[in-house]
Amino acid sequence: EVQLVESGGGLVQPGESLRLSCAASGFTFSTYWMNWVRQAPGKGLEWVANIKPGGTEKYYVDSVKGRFTISRDNAKNSLYLQMNSLRAEDTAIYYCARDGELTGDLFDYWGQGALVTVSS
Amino acid sequence: DVVMTQSPLSLPVTLGQPASISCRSSQSLVHSDGNTYLNWFQQRPGQSPRRLIYKVSNRDSGVPDRFSGSGSGTDFTLKISRVEAEDVGIYYCMQGTHWPPLTFGGGTKVEIK
């Protein structure tokens, strides 16, 4: 059974940093694209970043470029999101989501989410 | 960026009756490989999103056959043939043809009248 479990959320002040983790199990993690998707309180879904299986390609939404870094450790079956210079508008539930095997087979499995609150 | 526009924002439906959600993209979602990468997701209250439909009309495993997707180019539709209580939630369309960024529609809230 595919499982994605996020951790590392919490309350931070504006300008601070936080690192989210996503532990994957039930599939061969090293062969799948992985994503971070966020949802601000009461709002819709926003894709944040994704990363190729080998970690050589990474893409980001413009609003987080230069502040967030997606990475993975295939030996540990883990996905990460390093978030620096956090702003109030980054407050959201952050979901880890897997892409399927075929091109365009996006977000077939999701984690339960990790809440990040940026407030002074 | 491709803008995804859903309508209506809110959809009150009587149990057992059909429901239809529209999703329009700001440009054609036909990929150069000939596929159209338009997905639908359901988010029940308090839960993570769940994919229902991929590539316009393909139902995911375990998704009831009362859910169907259709459309082409820039206009797409998610239909629920007979709404059940468990279908309450917010539905999102998402395009994966022109990225980055991958973009979602704003969501349609389905509720029971």
- Return phi, psi of residue A31, to 5°: -110, 5
Minimal Cα–Cα distance from A43 to chain B, Å? 8
In the numeric block, the tokens 């209250």 are attached to B45
Q: Which amino acid is at B70?
A: S
Contacts of B101 in chain A (CB under 8 A): 47, 59, 61-62
How far apart are alpha carbons B18 and A9 in whole angstroms? 39
How many other CB atoms are found less than 10 A from the CB of residue B85?
7
Do the Cβ atoms of B107 and B6 come closer than 8 Å? yes
pLDDT per position as a tens digit, B60-99: 999 999 999 999 999 999 999 999 999 999 999 999 999 9
Contacts of A103 in chain B (CB under 8 A): 33, 35
- Is A103 a residue whose pLDDT tops 90? no
- Measured between CB atoms, which of A59, A100, A107 is closest to B100? A59
Mean pLDDT, chain B, as a whole number?
97
Minimal Cα–Cα distance from B11 to chain A, Å? 16
DSSP class of residue A32? Answer: S
Q: Do A105 and B33 touch (CB under 8 A)?
A: no
Do the Cβ atoms of B4 and B103 come closer than 8 Å? yes
Those residues whose C-beta lies under 8 Å from the C-beta of residue B88, and which sit 6 or more positions away, are B44, B45, B110, B111, B112
Contacts of A105 in chain B (CB under 8 A): 54-55
At residue B98, the 3 state secondary structure works out as: coil
How far apart are alpha carbons A81 and A72 in whole angstroms? 9
How many other CB atoms are found less than 10 A from the CB of residue B86?
9
- Is A102 a residue whose pLDDT tops 90? no
Report pLDDT for B59: 96
